[in-house]
Chains A and B, each alone.
Chain A
Amino acid sequence: MNVVELVEEIVKIVKDTVPEYVVILEEKTSTMLKMANGQPSVVQSWKEYQVDLYAAKDQKIMASSFRFSKPDEAIQKTVKIIDKLQPSPLYAPLPDPSGKPYSLVDKTLAEMAITGDVTRLIEDLELGELSNSAGAISVSVEKRVLRTSNGADLEGARTHFNGYMRIFADDDSSGQWSWTSTKYDPVQAKKSISTAVNLAEECKKLPRGKIETGKYRVLLSPMVAGNLIESVIRAASGASVIFGMSFFRPDQIGQQLASEKLTIIDRPLMEILPGYSTFDDEGVATRDKPIIEKGVLKTLLHNSKTAKLLKAETTGNAGIIWPTAFNIEVVPGDLNDEEMMEILGNGLYATNNWYTRFQNYPEGLFSTVTRDALIVVKNGKPAGCAARARITGSMLDLIKNVEAVGKTRWPIEWWEVRLPSLLPHLLISEIGITSE
């Protein structure tokens, strides 16, 4: 059964029982090559359907999700229970559909994903040459079909190529970098791998640096910037605001909350990034929009439900329940990498991080742990490579303290940056660092 037939089957079950529905069916075929210790640890391959079903009746809401090619029983349960539910304060009528179909398929990627053969990846990226590497490289092709009760009938298809590689020059010297694209781009992938190699080797050459706990000027790599900006984006979701898990408030829209150097844009229509989509999960046309523009909070991200509760308009960012961005772009500055280091002067260059956690979401208090090369910079030059440290403070202070933005940008997506993002280096004038 093809995807459209499967959607028809689901719509047939749903349409006579509930007046409002959204059926989203995603057919995805993907292959992932995982590396460890310089060799493949496993090749994983998936072929799957994911069905997301939204049903509403008398302002009662069900939003079910299935990863099974025959979810009939669960769909029946979904539409049967709805009469026994209570009206939801989140309910809003489905917005008029305005989205358009899209197709952004790279044939090379699609073929690699479908065959599950990683031989070409191994050869093109010269993976056999990397002596001490770990990482993951994924290729996928997906088709997405959306039907709604108010007439949306949309299809989208796209391919996805992303990966990340961690290189160890020795036990204490490593570098990690990532890439992402809608096209098969081995040149970009190799450039990212080379960056990881260079960071590892530079760290090995430098003397071991010792960091004292205190306030520092810190240059964030695109990897680190991506991870922290993802927290900003999550806080900008209307659902985070409604559920009390955001450091933004609706009355702050239009206020200068960040440095005027910082502009963050949700870019669903940026074709090179794999979050590309011309319609959201309610069938509304997507549009590129600044979330923070020259430091001013311009909008929260909304679907029809969060928009109703927060007295706004949908921004075309549905998630049925939780609005989210598609792709993230940070507008570049005009300084190259060397100039960024010069302006940093004395401080730290954090090249990678993980484990960002909040002590207090509404106050934005967080910490995150650096990993891989953490370079101590003196007079604009690398002077040492330090052990792991923590960046701690307030996310609102962090975005206020963006002092400079780099010119060169990298397409980033990995374990700790789930939203495909095009990012430069960011220089933070002051942030807390703790260390052993």
Chain B
Amino acid sequence: MVKEVQVDPQLLTKAVDKALGMGAEYAEARYHRVTGFSFTLMNGFLIGASYMDSTGVAIRTIVNGGLGFASTDSLEENDVLESVSRAFKGARASSTIVKDRIGLSRERLGNAKYEVRQQKPIGSVDDSEIITTIQDIYKSLDMNIGIDVKNVLLGFTYNIEDKIIVTSDGAFIESRIPRVNMFYSITAERGGERANRWNQLGGTGGLELIETLKLKENLEDDLRSLKIYLVEAGTPPRGKMDVVIGPEVVGLAVHESAGHPSEADRVMGREAAQAGLSYRRRMKTGEKIGSEHATVIDDPTIPGSYGFYLYDDEGVPARPRYLIRNGVLDEFLHNRETAYAMNTQSNASARAKEWWAEPIVRMANTYFAPGDYRFEELIEGIKHGIYIKKYMEWNIDDYRWVARYVGLEAYEIKDGRLVRPVKNPALEVNSLEFYSSVDAVGRDLEFQAGTCGKGEPGQGVPVWFGGPHIRLRGVRIL
């Protein structure tokens, strides 16, 4: 079971008791440790390596309806208990001008320990051997593909996240989640024109993920995409047309335009000055946003996923959340604070990046539910359109309404066939148009790893996002 915990859980209980003794309505103590190893290769050469250790204790208290958070990177009793005082003081001071009291929903809380199993455990192989393994993958790539590959920056990270969470209303969760993450950036040139591709792969588990995440295959495929971009791709057609987007683009789109706007704290305005607001302030739950083919789910419990967890950081058991169900806006993502404010139940969306971070509402693994079309069937019904397989640039406004996805590898479709590659087609579409225009959904399902940013200080947390190929009718290409 969970090993190498450096803190006595009794200290966390003591911290919670101290806060209650001071008069807090609620208190929570979280021991949070993330340790790991990473390195970076440039064109196959090791340019540097790094160990990281981020360890500390976070305290949250609610006092007179005000919320206070304090944390320390010391595991000494005095420092932890001093953090309790700081959290209490902050909560009490803010309560003086609080109009709507902050509270937490009543929940069935967990008392559990869990650990993600590793087939090839981190630590079972010398870290220097991992470097060699990744270098061997790099060396096996064929770079003579008709473009000048200027630079390949390739990074590898493993880490192990240990947590113990104790709350004043009875939660006790001890967990260990190991993760592997790899990223790369490829820059290539041909005839004075340059292009680059960035990609990230990640999952929970051990070093077996180096193989299962298919680093080599992804690198090869992205080199091929850059060649297509630099050698073959021409100007895209523009205007309203039918568009097929691949799982990489679909995954990003549902993360940005279904996942983020469904975060209840964003809907309530808690992140208004940072990550922004949500169109779901105006569109109500039960309102139609898409065709019957559009179903978007966020599920923390997918085994092996980068956003995996079984209990959230407030002790609530995780489950799949339906954000859009058959074209209708469904659940928000809730932590206990937003659930209390909206008079409902948490669905276990509270996550904190490390010990220095408050648990806020986050996605885990968000995906567009697959249908039953084969890829050929999706494009055979298109007279003139575009297929966007991969993207580089994207963004969305702070109400999560109008998004832009610019294709890296993309093709023009004529009479149901891919006829030529095209460069930088920009799909700009609002969320209602996007989900309403879906008329066919592929049977495939692929996930991408990402680091989702939110909060102040910024908390980048691991997530997956994915989906099948989908077909959009009559959307705008710029």
Most buried by A among B37, B93, B401: B93
Binds B, one of A32-40, A272-280, A396-404: A32-40
CB within 8 Å of A: which B37-75 residues: 37, 42, 45-56, 66-75
Quick one: which of B86, B90, B196, B398 contacts A361, CB cutoff 8 A?
A: B196
Task: Assess whether B393 is in contact with A67, with CB atoms less than 8 Å apart.
Answer: no
Answer whether A245 and B71 are a contact pair too, CB < 8 Å, given A42-B358, A65-B50: no
Q: Is A77 an interface residue (CB 8 A)?
A: yes
Q: Is B399 an interface residue (CB 8 A)?
A: yes
Answer whether A42 and B69 are a contact pair too, CB < 8 Å, given A117-B89, A176-B273, A369-B395: yes
Q: Is B397 an interface residue (CB 8 A)?
A: yes
Give complex CA distance A243, B273 in Å.
33
Task: Assess whether B356 is in contact with A43, with CB atoms less than 8 Å apart.
Answer: no
Quick one: which of B50, B392, B430 contacts A63, CB cutoff 8 A?
A: B50
Task: Assess whether B89 is in contact with A115, with CB atoms less than 8 Å apart.
Answer: yes
Give complex CA distance A69, B72 in Å.
9
Binds B, one of A80-88, A221-229, A260-268: A80-88
Task: Assess whether B398 is in contact with A118, with CB atoms less than 8 Å apart.
Answer: no
Task: Assess whether B83 is in contact with A243, with CB atoms less than 8 Å apart.
Answer: no
Quick one: which of A84, A86, A355 contacts B396, CB cutoff 8 A?
A: A355
Contact with B along A154-170 (1 / 0, CB 8 A): 00000000001110100
Residues of A within 8 A of B195 (CB): 360, 362-363
A-B interface contact total, Cβ < 8 Å: 280
Q: Is A354 an interface residue (CB 8 A)?
A: yes
Q: Is B193 an interface residue (CB 8 A)?
A: yes
Residues of B within 8 A of A363 (CB): 193-195
Q: Is B458 an interface residue (CB 8 A)?
A: yes
CB within 8 Å of B: which A335-390 residues: 354-363, 365-371, 388, 390
Instruction: Please name 24 pairs of A and B residues whose Cβ atoms are closer than 8 Å in the assembled complex, sorted by A.
Output: A37-B100, A41-B270, A42-B67, A42-B358, A43-B90, A44-B70, A46-B70, A64-B51, A64-B52, A67-B55, A69-B72, A69-B74, A70-B55, A122-B93, A122-B94, A245-B187, A359-B424, A360-B196, A368-B395, A369-B395, A371-B397, A388-B397, A388-B398, A434-B478
Give complex CA distance A84, B71 in Å.
36
Give complex CA distance A40, B91 in Å.
9
CB within 8 Å of A: which B96-122 residues: 96-100, 102
Chain A contact residues: over half helix, strand or loop, or mixed? strand
The 7 closest A-B CB pairs, nearest first, are A244-B187, A43-B90, A40-B94, A359-B393, A244-B151, A84-B128, A362-B194
Q: Which residues of A contact B (CB under 8 A)?
A: 31-49, 61-71, 73-74, 77-78, 81, 84-86, 88-90, 115-119, 122, 127-128, 134-136, 164-166, 168, 171, 176, 213, 242-245, 321, 354-363, 365-371, 388, 390, 392, 415, 434, 436
Answer whether A367 and B395 are a contact pair too, CB < 8 Å, given A62-B48, A68-B54: yes
Chain A: CB-nearest residue to B72:
A47
- Shortest beta-carbon distance from A402 to chain B in Å: 23
Task: Assess whether A74 is in contact with B52, with CB atoms less than 8 Å apart.
Answer: yes
Give complex CA distance A78, B37 in Å.
10
Residues of A within 8 A of B186 (CB): 244
Task: Assess whether A71 is in contact with B53, with CB atoms less than 8 Å apart.
Answer: yes
Residues of A within 8 A of B185 (CB): 243-245
Residues of A within 8 A of B22 (CB): none
Chain B: CB-nearest residue to A29:
B86
- Shortest beta-carbon distance from B146 to chain A in Å: 18
Q: Is B77 an interface residue (CB 8 A)?
A: no
Task: Assess whether B393 is in contact with A367, with CB atoms less than 8 Å apart.
Answer: yes
CB within 8 Å of A: which B402-432 residues: 402, 404, 406, 408, 424, 426, 428, 430
Residues of B within 8 A of A127 (CB): 97
Answer whether A40 and B456 are a contact pair too, CB < 8 Å, given A67-B73, A371-B397: no
CB within 8 Å of A: which B14-49 residues: 35, 37, 42, 45-49
- Shortest beta-carbon distance from A384 to chain B in Å: 18
Task: Assess whether B358 is in contact with A37, with CB atoms less than 8 Å apart.
Answer: no
Quick one: which of B73, B126, B401 contacts A68, CB cutoff 8 A?
A: B73
Give complex CA distance A119, B135 in Å.
55
Task: Assess whether A45 is in contact with B86, with CB atoms less than 8 Å apart.
Answer: yes
Give complex CA distance A48, B355 in Å.
10
Residues of B within 8 A of A358 (CB): 392-393
Task: Assess whether B87 is in contact with A45, with CB atoms less than 8 Å apart.
Answer: yes
- Shortest beta-carbon distance from A189 to chain B in Å: 14
Residues of B within 8 A of A86 (CB): 45-46, 131
Contact with A along B112-152 (1 / 0, CB 8 A): 00000000000000111001000000000000000000110
Task: Assess whether B97 is in contact with A366, with CB atoms less than 8 Å apart.
Answer: no
- Shortest beta-carbon distance from A351 to chain B in Å: 13
Chain A: CB-nearest residue to B88:
A116
Residues of B within 8 A of A136 (CB): 273-274, 456
Residues of B within 8 A of A78 (CB): 50-51
Residues of A within 8 A of B282 (CB): 171
- Shortest beta-carbon distance from B228 to chain A in Å: 14
Task: Assess whether A67 is in contact with B354, with CB atoms less than 8 Å apart.
Answer: yes
- Shortest beta-carbon distance from A123 to chain B in Å: 10
Residues of A within 8 A of B268 (CB): 36-37
- Shortest beta-carbon distance from A370 to chain B in Å: 8
Task: Assess whether A61 is in contact with B395, with CB atoms less than 8 Å apart.
Answer: no
Q: Is B217 an interface residue (CB 8 A)?
A: no
Task: Assess whether A89 is in contact with B45, with CB atoms less than 8 Å apart.
Answer: yes
Give complex CA distance A127, B354 in Å.
29
Residues of A within 8 A of B439 (CB): none
Quick one: which of A47, A77, A115 contacts B51, CB cutoff 8 A?
A: A77
Residues of A within 8 A of B373 (CB): none
Task: Assess whether B458 is in contact with A415, with CB atoms less than 8 Å apart.
Answer: yes
Give complex CA distance A88, B48 in Å.
7
Give complex CA distance A368, B396 in Å.
9
Q: Is B232 an interface residue (CB 8 A)?
A: no
Residues of A within 8 A of B456 (CB): 32, 34, 136, 415
Give complex CA distance A68, B356 in Å.
11
Task: Assess whether B356 is in contact with A67, with CB atoms less than 8 Å apart.
Answer: yes
Chain A: CB-nearest residue to B37:
A77
Chain B: CB-nearest residue to A48:
B73
Task: Assess whether A118 is in contact with B93, with CB atoms less than 8 Å apart.
Answer: yes
- Shortest beta-carbon distance from B400 to chain A in Å: 11
Quick one: which of A84, A166, A360, A436 contacts B273, CB cutoff 8 A?
A: A166
Task: Assess whether B50 is in contact with A64, with CB atoms less than 8 Å apart.
Answer: yes
